Structures are given as structure tokens and as C-alpha cells.
Amino acid sequence: MSIEQLITEHLDIWTAADTEKKSGRGRSSGSAGSVYGIKKLRELILELAVRGKLVPQDSSDEPASELLKRIATEKAKFAVGGRKNGESTLLLSEDNKPYSLPKNWTWVKLGQVVEVLDSQRKPVTKQDREPGPYPYYGASGIVDYVSDYIFDEPLVIVGEDGAKWGRGENTAFLIVGKTWVNNHAHVIRPYKIALIDKFLSYSLNAMNLMPFITGMTVPKLNQAKLVSIELPLPPIAEQHRIVAKVDELMALCDQLENQHNNAAEAHEKLVTHLLGTLTQSQNAEDFNTNWQRISEHFDTLFTTEASIDALKQTLLQLAVMGKLVPQDPNDEPASELLKRIQAEKAQLIAEGKIKKDKPLAEITDDEKPFELPVGWEWVQWYDILANDDAAFKRGPFGSSLTKSMFVKSGYKVYEQYCPINDDCSFERYYITPDKFEEMKGFAVKSGDYLVSCSGVTLGRITQIPKDFKEGIINQAILRVRINHRYYDKDFFKLLFRSQFFQKQIFDNSTGSAIPNVKGVKDLKVMPIPLFTVEEQSRIVTKVDELMTICDQLKERITLSNQLQQKLADVVIEQAISQ
């Protein structure tokens, strides 16, 4: 079977075997180049190329052994004092040859067929860093464009450090024209009479170079290891045929990948649009029409992990908008709940049990994120806080809590890891009992919510369980206490993770590169919906039911994708072994 037949007959495997994607906050993080099947197909093309299985051999081609003789003759002309550049150390024994090669091919070590030009590379100076037309290369490819150049010919570069050297990792790059290379990449000039630069780059990218890497803390491909890399060398004419065929097949892979990614992008846009119609529904009739449209095509819409994540986010949004379960006309109106909440706070203030806060401004119509069902009310976050002066508490700043104060055991310091991963069991740092007493205002108790306050994980939340370990929060956490007589503990987490609430958290943050949550005053006035705990509980039950279905769908997608990946691996193994 030809490689073209292999591609076309198994097209569904190559394009269906996606690399697993991780998504954040309901959005797909997949990108072009992430199709597992096509990545493996590229590896197969290179593997077949270096094994002499990609194009037929021509018995009239000059054998590769003759090419080595030409190189030896050329080197002899420039040898100093009879030195032969250590070639005796570069010869391969029969036992060390990785696999058998076609007739007229031969195994060489890289140092036999290339010159290493590392002495000419150098870091870019401040002056040279001025933007310019010349590409500046490092271990992983182009770093920048600069105003000067070092090299002006086709060369191959291989990462020396800070690079990936596994099979299919784009270990080697072909550079052409005026270029600059820093000291993180080896610069290689093939002997043109024996080795085509593009064939060299393809060969190196087909290999697993990890056995040649030294060092664990700082992995490195040093020059001595570089020149000892075993390389299959075909006749020069066959190298040209191989390069032409690889270029042709890689272009086909590009087309497949573009088609796949374009289709995936279109699919994601369609899912986003249709789910958006649900949250924008004007009334129950409109909602039912939009839901019917989606449910008729459920099997074709929700076929990726990203689409399931988008569905989950939509369910949360529908839940907090009151569109997921019907309202019960017998439920007490939220306006009555709010009166009781305000009366309780006023009583505690009068008794001196809590402090009186400054009056908060009314929520204007422009500040209301969406229209609520009959019987619901927009209130401020402040209204549902526990009757506790420390209901909102940001962790200690500055010198109040530093690593120098930590001990091997004692009272736990709750870190940002906990809300980020919804896991309160994580523990790493501790403080003494005396320090805990000093910082008791930052202590946690069962039922407290911990919120991540900075970075891309701003707004992640977790809740302290009943069997918690005593301790305090650090500076990256906001501690929140809610009045659970009026707000269900699970519904609050659901609300907090919804799109509308997360948007408010980010809108109420400072900083662009590293967002940080604003002060307590700004958070207290954030609008949230208020309605009976009974309905909140019904919504939580429905969300749990639907999320379970989503998780089951996602698991099926994951298992299917893993199967497709295994099929791709099997097809490739069979192709190589033929």
C-alpha cells in the first residue's frame, strides 16, 4: 500500500483522533496543529522517509558510500598536520546500526557529513535587538526579528538546550537567507556533495534524540553528542526524491489539518450561537422553541469536550436566570425574604452584635444583568452575607505572614491551590499556636467559602468541609461567609461559577497582566438574584442531574477519542513494519 493510499483509506482515523484538549471557564483551548492523528501521520511520513520506504530506490543511483569518499577527499585538502577531525571515533560498528537500510544507503554519524558552526553564533546585543528584517533563531525556532545577521546560506539548527528532543517534536529547523542564531541552538552546515540540508532536517525530526541528551536539571545536547548521532544516508539523487515526496505529503497533511480545524471552529461557533439563544430567550415560549431546535440536533452538536463544557456553562447560566426549573407560585416572594434579612441585621446592630455599615446605593436598572422571574429580586451580595463583621475577609498582606514564619507542623495555612482545585485537603505550610492566636481574624471554619483573588484563576471557589483542619487563609484568598438561612450552600457555589457572576468578578478586578480582586466595598454591591431556598434546592437538584448527563457524554467522547488514537497508532505500526 502506498503512503497516499494509507492516508486516504484511513482518513477518518487521522482526522478523528484529536489530542485531548483542556478548556478553561467553558471555552475551548484547542488550536491548530492539535490533531493527534495528523501529528502521528506526519511522524509516519518522516519515519518511512528515513527508512527508505517512502520512494522506490533506483539501482543506477550513485551509492552513498561514494559520497563519503568525496567528503573524505574534501576534508583531506583542509586537514591541518594530518589530523582527520576525529573521524575514527565516528564510525559505526555493525552491532550499533539502528535498523537495516536499503541497498546503496549507509549509516553515518552526523559529524562525518556536516560542519558545526557553533563558534559563529552569538546572543543578540541591545543594539541588534532593534526590530529588523532578519529572523533571530533560538532552540525552538524564531525568537524575534533583528537588525543584523550572522549567516547567509541554507543551514540546519538543532536545539542545544531549552528544547524538546523527542520524536516528532520539531527538533531541527531549516534556516535560509540572512539569519541570526543565538547560543541555545547548534548551527549545522551539511557537506552539500553528500547531504541535502532539507533531508537532514527531516531526518533529525524523525528521530528520538533523547538518548543523546545529558544532564537532568538542565538537559542539554552538547556538541560531542550531536556529532555522534546516527544518521541514515541515501544516495544524493534519492534524497532529492525523498524531500520532494515529503514536501508533497506534508502539504496534504496541512490541508487535512486546516479542514479539520476549520470544521471544528465552525462547529464551536454554531454551538455557542445556539446555546446563546437559550440564555437570550425573552419568555418561556421563546425558550421552549430554542430548546426544541437544539434538542433535535443534540447528537451532532455535542460531540466534543469543548461543546460539552459550553453546554455546562449554559446550564449554570440558565439556572441562575430561573429558566431551568418552573417557579412555584406558592413560594414566598423574595421581597418578603429581603424584609426579614434587613430586619434581622437591624436587630443585631441594635443589640451591638454587629457593626452598622454605611447605606449602600440602590441597584439601578442598568446594573441588573438580566430580567428575573416573577417573585425573584435583585439584591446586593452584602444582603446575603452572614451576620458577622468578618463575613468578607481578605488574607493578610505584607509582613503579617511570610514564609520565615512557617513551621514543620501546627495550624494550617490555606493557599490559593484550595479554591483553584476545589480541594481543601491540600496543605504545605503551618504556623505556631501563638501565631494562630495572633491571626485568629483570618481563621477558617466549616462552611466558609475560599475564593482565589488573583491571576487567571481569579474567581475560583471552594467550601471548607465539616471535617476541616484549623488554620488561616493567606494573602491570595478571600474568605466569604454566607447566611445559609436564605442562601443554599450548593446554589451559592453554582451561582459563583456561572458566567454572569464570573464576569462581575473580573469586571471588579484591577490589573491587566495579573488581575486582582478589588476591595470588599466593590464586591459587597455586586447584584445577585434572591429567591426562596426551596427553589434554590430544586435548581441544584436539576443542575446535578444534568451535569451527570454531561459528564457521561464527555466520558464517552474521551473513550472514543482514545480508541481513535489507538487505531492511529496501530495503523502506523503496521505501516512501519511492512
Task: Over range 366-390, report the average pLDDT.
Answer: 91
Strands of 155-159's sheet in order across: 114-116, 185-190, 155-159, 172-175
- Cβ atoms within 10 A of the Cβ of 68, count? 18
State yes or no: pLDDT of 383 exceeds 60. yes
pLDDT of residue 19: 63
More confident position, 441 or 77: 441
pLDDT of residue 44: 87
CA atoms of 570 and 564, how far apart (whole Å): 10
* Check whether domain 62-234 has CATH 3.30.350.10, yes or no: no
Q: Per the structure block, which three cell numbers stand in for 365?
A: 436598572
CA atoms of 315 and 275, how far apart (whole Å): 9
pLDDT one-digit tens code per residue, 498-523: 998 998 888 878 766 677 877 778 88
Residue 452: closest CA among 485, 413, 407, 422: 422
CA angle at residue 328 from 327 to 331, to 5 degrees?
Answer: 115
- Amino acid in the structure at residue 299: D
pLDDT one-digit tens code per residue, 485-504: 999 999 999 999 999 899 88
Q: Which CATH architecture has domain 363-531?
A: Alpha-Beta Complex (3.90)
More confident position, 263 or 577: 263
pLDDT one-digit tens code per residue, 130-171: 788 999 998 888 988 988 899 999 999 999 987 777 776 778
Give the pLDDT band (50/70/90) at residue 95: low
Q: Taking the CA atoms of 149, 150, 153 and 159 in sequence, report the sign of the dihedral they define.
A: negative
pLDDT of residue 88: 42
pLDDT of residue 31: 39
Task: Over range 458-477, report the average pLDDT.
Answer: 94
pLDDT of residue 442: 96
- In the chain, residues under CATH classification 3.90.220.20 are 62-234, 363-531
pLDDT of residue 359: 82
Residue 535: closest CA among 236, 288, 321: 321
Percent helix, strand, coil in the chain, to 5, is: 45, 15, 40
CA atoms of 183 and 178, how far apart (whole Å): 17
DSSP-derived secondary structure letter, 159: E
Q: Per the structure block, which three cell numbers stand in for 546?
A: 444534568
Q: What is the pTM of this model?
A: 0.69
State yes or no: pLDDT of 427 exceeds 90. yes
517 CB-near residues (< 8 Å, 6+ apart): 394, 451, 453, 454, 458, 459, 478, 505, 508, 509, 523
Alpha helices in 82-235 (DSSP H): 110-113, 197-206, 223-227
Task: Over range 79-94, report the average pLDDT.
Answer: 47
pLDDT of residue 318: 92
